Amino acid sequence: MSAIDHVRRVVTVLLVAATLFVVPQIASAEFTRSATSSLAVTTATLETPSALRGSYTCVEDKGRKIDAITVALTTFSGSWPTGTSYVVVITSGGEEYARGSGPLKTQVLTGTQPKEKGNTVWTVEVYSALGQWLSPAGSVDINCQKQNIGSF
């Protein structure tokens, strides 16, 4: 290896090392002062609806072989942020038979299922919703025995 090749390699190594040292320094930045924000950030809490209140009417239609329930939810308890809506679901035996949603705590829903037994247990579930978030369900079970009217 000649002296010129040796010098060229040393210069190349030094240039590469200098480039690796200098380039990150060019791209670096730092904050020189601090500022406060006027925007306060908080988290929202979606409580489980409780103390569900309302009335129901159970109907057994032997001719059409169906059981039906109409639920009029009148109120429930909890504290929610502005913009919260409410989802009400009627289920029986793990299957959903009616669903409604809206910004009001009062809703009327009717669930109908094929007649299989003399007594049907329906579950009314209420969720609070904010954007894509849902609270755990507040619920009440209603045991319909043929045709009856009641409240919860």
Quick check: is 12 in a domain? no
Quick check: is 117 in a domain? yes
Of 145 and 103, more confident: 103
State the chain's mean pLDDT as an integer: 86
Q: How many domains does the chain have?
A: 1
Quick check: is 25 in a domain? no
Quick check: is 78 in a domain? yes
Quick check: is 4 in a domain? no
Percentage of the residues of the chain whose pLDDT score is greater than 70: 90
pTM above 0.85, yes or no: no
60-93 pLDDT, tens digit each: 888 888 889 999 999 999 988 889 999 999 999 8
The model's confidence at residue 25, banded by pLDDT at 50, 70 and 90, is low
Asked whether the predicted pLDDT for residue 100 surpasses 90, the reply is: yes
- The pLDDT of residue 45 is 83
Asked whether the predicted pLDDT for residue 5 surpasses 80, the reply is: no
Given a contact cutoff of 8 angstroms between Cβ atoms, the answer to whether 121 and 141 are in contact is: yes
Q: How far is CA 12 from CA 1, 87, 95, 103, 137, in A?
A: 16, 70, 75, 71, 70
Quick check: is 87 in a domain? yes
Asked whether the predicted pLDDT for residue 52 surpasses 60, the reply is: yes
State the average pLDDT over residues 31-39: 83
Q: By residue range, what is the domain housing residue 54?
A: 50-151
Give the CATH number of the domain where residue 76 resides: 2.60.40.10
Quick check: is 38 in a domain? no
Quick check: is 89 in a domain? yes
104-130 pLDDT, tens digit each: 999 999 999 887 655 689 999 999 999
